[in-house]
């Protein structure tokens, strides 16, 4: 487990997303969940000596960060759109129903998905207090409609979820790209200058990483616009996905999964923007 700043930690040993841990007095704020039940049990055993878990924070509705939470008896905090999305899932999850290049795609069949529905939600902004510290939740749609940031002013830390990805490309099939680009502008702005920014894919990030994500999104945006009436759309998506792979340092063992993520995301984004052209 990596210490980011005092009382803020990141764990990247589990597949799916990097996990956050914030220690506030004798209580713990958990950011996202491991995907597999056995990993959830191990993670909570590791952190149990640091305090009592108080809340689980779900930074969006990506199945890799949500599905493991079904085994937790811990109040979960999420944005309203995340609540809506999870409520729409069947109680039995099959990973191959619509593969999006997620680790959850490999799940054969799991039940009890309804247990992952968050109990505490908000629309645009919410503040809670723990141990005399203010925790601010901000709705920042972009990667997903229910994406959010968690800001801890006293610690000068912001968990930005998938807003910035360093090690691998995001799934863009449900993304609001213009809003996402606006979020990146906000991260580069003066209000965030004194904050440590933490990504769910790569950990601590800086301006260079923000710019890299912005270039990736503009490339996606520009190329998807040209796919609306393209008779060879599938071939163009294949070429674009391979091109975008070059923007990331992807390990050979992950290449097939990342290519599937990019191809599916680009096709879904095209259908999202141009449903009549499907």
Averaged pLDDT, 96-112: 89
Q: Where are the domains of the chain?
A: 2-277
pLDDT score for 250: 86
pLDDT score for 187: 96
Q: Is the pTM of this model over 0.85?
A: yes
Please, which contacts does 86-95 make with residues 24 or more away whose CB atoms are closer than 8 Å? 86/61, 86/113, 86/116, 86/117, 86/118, 87/117, 89/113, 93/63, 93/67
The answer, yes or no, to whether residue 36 has pLDDT greater than 90, is yes
pLDDT score for 251: 85
In this prediction, residue 276 has a pLDDT band, given cuts at 50, 70 and 90, of low
The answer, yes or no, to whether residue 223 has pLDDT greater than 70, is yes
Instruction: Give the span between the Cα atoms of 144 and 23, in whole angstroms.
Output: 27
Averaged pLDDT, 269-278: 75
In this prediction, residue 202 has a pLDDT band, given cuts at 50, 70 and 90, of confident
Query: Span 2-277: which CATH code?
Result: 3.60.15.10
DSSP 178-204: HHHHHHHHHHTSGGGTTSEEEEEETEE
Burial 201-231 (b: 16+ CB within 10 A, else e): bbbebeeebbebbbebbeebbebbeebeeee
Per-residue model confidence as pLDDT tens digits over 56-80 = 999 999 999 999 999 898 999 999 9
Half-sphere exposure of 83 (CA within 13 A, CB side): 12
Per-residue model confidence as pLDDT tens digits over 10-19 = 999 998 889 9
The answer, yes or no, to whether residue 8 has pLDDT greater than 60, is yes
Query: Is the separation of the CB atoms in 11 and 18 below 8 Å?
Result: yes
The answer, yes or no, to whether residue 228 has pLDDT greater than 70, is no
In this prediction, residue 277 has a pLDDT band, given cuts at 50, 70 and 90, of low
Query: In the predicted model, what is the mean pLDDT of the chain?
Result: 92
């Amino acid at each position: 487990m990596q210490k980011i700043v005092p009382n803020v930690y990141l764990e990247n040993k589990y597949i799916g997303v990097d996990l956050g841990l914030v220690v506030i007095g004798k209580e713990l704020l958990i950011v996202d969940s491991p995907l597999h039940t056995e990993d959830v049990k191990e993670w909570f055993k590791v952190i149990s000596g640091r305090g009592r878990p108080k809340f689980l924070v779900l930074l969006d509705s990506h199945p890799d960060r949500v599905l493991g939470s079904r085994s937790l008896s811990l109040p979960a905090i999420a944005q309203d759109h995340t609540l809506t999305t999870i409520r729409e899932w069947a109680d039995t999850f099959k990973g191959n129903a619509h593969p999006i290049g997620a680790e959850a795609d490999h799940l054969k069949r799991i039940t009890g998905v309804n247990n992952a529905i968050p109990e505490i939600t908000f629309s645009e902004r919410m503040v809670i207090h723990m141990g005399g510290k203010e925790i601010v939740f901000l709705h920042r749609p972009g990667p997903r409609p229910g994406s959010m940031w968690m800001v801890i002013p006293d610690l000068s830390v912001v968990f930005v979820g998938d807003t910035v990805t360093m090690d691998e490309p995001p799934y863009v099939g449900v993304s609001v790209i213009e809003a996402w680009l606006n979020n990146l502008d906000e991260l580069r702005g003066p209000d965030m200058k004194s904050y440590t920014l933490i990504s769910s894919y790569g950990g601590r990030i800086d301006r260079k990483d923000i710019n890299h994500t912005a270039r990736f999104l503009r490339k996606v945006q520009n190329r998807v616009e040209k796919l609306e009436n393209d008779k060879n759309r599938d071939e163009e998506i294949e070429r674009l996905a391979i091109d975008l792979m070059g923007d990331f340092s992807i390990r050979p063992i992950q290449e097939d999964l990342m290519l599937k993520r990019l191809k599916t995301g680009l096709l879904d984004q095209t259908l999202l923007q141009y449903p009549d052209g499907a």
